[in-house]
Amino acid sequence: MDRPTYEVQTLGCQMNVHDSERIAGLLQGEGYRAATGDETADVVVINTCAVRENADNKLYGHLGMLAPRKRENPDLRIVVTGCLAQKDRGSVSERAPWVDVVLGTHNIDSLPALLRRSAQQSQAVSEFAETLQAFPSDLPVARGSDFSAWVAISVGCNNTCTFCIVPSLRGRERDREPEDILAEVRALSDSGVKEITLLGQNVNAYGVEFGDRQAFSKLLRSVGGVSGIERVRFTSPHPRDFTTDVIAAMAQTPTVMPSLHMPLQSGSDQVLRRMRRSYRAQRFLQIVDEVRTAMPEAAITTDIIVGFPGETEDDFEQTLEVVRSARFSGAFTFKYSVRPGTPAAEYSDQVAPEVVSDRYERLLAVVEDIAWEQNRALLGSRVEVLVGRSSGRKDSPNARVSGRARDNRLVHLPADAGLEPGDLVTATVTHAAPHHLIADDEIAVIRRFEAGASSCEPQGSTVTLGLPSVPVTS
Ligand code: SAH
Ligand code: SF4
Ligand code: F3S
């Protein structure tokens, strides 16, 4: 008999993409295979996010679309996991009784057992744990890319940003042992992987569990030294813990890429204080300066929230001021979203939605202007690009393959240049837009990609619909 099929839909950040790769690995271990393009899967897993309200809405929108499929095929298994499952626990199956399995963030290894149980029960089965049971990194994995891999260094967060729901869903920070991380990176390199992105909610707090304040910079240096790994990235650091040893490790390790995604959240000290973000605007700008001095070619990106409770026009102007001074190459901008259970949800001075929208538009315009100007400055220069997946229809005249420059800028290359995912090339930039570059001149291949012997089975139709903190690189 043909193997049963699965589909994993990912709605959250890179950590969710990372966990989805484990979910796919667990399912493959159970004999499932990824559903291909037009097949309807036997098991649909939705790996959810709860960071903003629209992430909540997305889940229920997706579940709504699955309801008729479940009516037509009662054997279809629907699984909801991830942060929103952890948050909504009991209510997911109340709101969507056609869901079969609800599983929290701390114990995704229970998925196979729960699926088996649900096959014998008409009611939804669920399982939650209060703390992390096992690092997902230790579970079987079906990675989405052969040449670029996510590597979790820590899970959870010890900070208490007043707007943020993540710590209540992911728990306190747990750090993996440096030897385990290195072993994973070496194994990845042996299997052909060229780029790794170190993941954590607050990567530079890494080491807090074993009391080594320089653990992250040491890790960057050791991971950067693994032979065969050409590009090392990380996300996200917190300005509070962005110490000079991290900047030195970045600048002195040739494989650590000159790119930094460091969330600002607000440029007003008053707002930062109420957000319980312990740095101040001047300190943030000082880090930006230090990074630029050490790595003049670095591209710096950020996350900004507008309309945090109590944000005045003056506070907002200060955010614009910091954005102008920092000259970000890009920013993910968010309207503040009330998250139940967080301290800021209780603040009485919530900002009116029309004021938030107005500030949001103004911020976006400033961010785009600066990003575009920076991209225009690259016209005519050579960029080194790690080729990713193709975008658009291959036969259309505008068909392109997309990749990432060393500084993580999105670069489009022509589809007819014979480039394959994982190839490393250089090309001349011919066109600049606010969010991407086009480099279609003088393309030179530095290295072709050859998948290693242990390259994995396709991971399945994982789609990332959430806004990741840093653009997904493959
Ligand atoms: N751990 C990461 C952030 C994870 S959440 C870090 O601290 O860098 C990703 C981004 O979502 C945050 O940087 C913040 O800008 C945004 N965010 C988090 N909670 C939010 C909320 N309640 N409303 C709007 N944006 C929020
Ligand atoms: Fe949330 Fe990031 Fe703050 Fe942790 S550091 S509480 S994950 S915003
Ligand atoms: Fe969870 Fe990531 Fe969203 S940690 S709440 S999936 S941003």
Range of the domain at 424: 382-447
Task: Please tell me the predicted confidence (pLDDT) of residue 394.
Answer: 65
- Residues 229, 319 share a domain: no
CA of 40 to the centre of ligand 1 (A): 34
DSSP summary character for residue 14 = H
Token pair for residue 435?
């969010």
Query: Would you call 121 exposed, middle or buried from its count of C-beta atoms within 10 A (0-12, 13-18, 19+)?
Result: exposed
Q: Tens digits of per-residue pLDDT, 32-67?
A: 999 988 888 999 999 999 999 998 888 999 999 999
Atom of ligand 2 nearest to the CA of 167: 6
In a domain, 78, yes or no: yes
Q: Tens digits of per-residue pLDDT, 437-467?
A: 999 999 999 999 987 655 455 555 444 333 3
Nearest residue by C-alpha to atom 3 in ligand 3: 49
**Greater model confidence, 223 or 131:** 223
**Pick from 408, 446, 443: which is nearest to 261 by CA?**
408
- Residues 282, 226 share a domain: no
- Residues 268, 371 share a domain: yes
**How far is it, in rounded angstroms, from Cα 465 to Cα 94?**
24
Q: Tens digits of per-residue pLDDT, 187-220?
A: 999 999 999 999 999 999 999 999 999 999 999 9
Q: What global pTM score does this model have?
A: 0.94
Q: Is 28 in the pocket of ligand 1 (CB under 6 A)?
A: no
Place of tokens 């961010």: 367
Single residue among 332, 356, 377 that ends a domain in this structure: 377
CATH number at residue 168: 3.30.750.210
Q: Is 336 in the pocket of ligand 1 (CB under 6 A)?
A: yes
Q: Is 242 in the pocket of ligand 1 (CB under 6 A)?
A: no
Q: How many residues does the chain have?
A: 474
Confidence of residue 469 (pLDDT cuts 50, 70, 90): very low
Lowest-confidence segment of 136-140, 226-230, 232-236 by average pLDDT: 136-140
The average pLDDT across 343-355 equals: 97
In a domain, 454, yes or no: no
CATH number at residue 337: 3.30.750.200
In a domain, 51, yes or no: yes
CA of 83 to the centre of ligand 1 (A): 14
Query: Would you call 120 exposed, middle or buried from its count of C-beta atoms within 10 A (0-12, 13-18, 19+)?
Result: exposed
**Pick from 335, 337, 338: which is nearest to 360 by CA?**
335
Q: Is 234 in the pocket of ligand 1 (CB under 6 A)?
A: no
**Pick from 440, 375, 380, 376: which is nearest to 410 by CA?**
375
Atom of ligand 3 nearest to the CA of 469: 7
Cβ partners under 8 Å of residue 438, min gap 6:
400, 411, 412, 413, 429, 430, 431, 432
The average pLDDT across 278-282 equals: 97
Atom of ligand 1 nearest to the CA of 163: 22
The average pLDDT across 219-231 equals: 98
Task: Please tell me the predicted confidence (pLDDT) of residue 471.
Answer: 32
CA of 293 to the centre of ligand 3 (A): 33
Atom of ligand 3 nearest to the CA of 468: 7
DSSP summary character for residue 171 = -
CA of 225 to the centre of ligand 2 (A): 29
Lowest-confidence segment of 127-131, 158-162, 298-302, 345-349 by average pLDDT: 127-131
- Residues 172, 116 share a domain: no
Instruction: Report the percentage of the chain scoring pLDDT > 70.
Output: 94
- Give bridge partners of residue 6 from the DSSP assignment: 34, 43
Nearest residue by C-alpha to atom 5 in ligand 2: 159
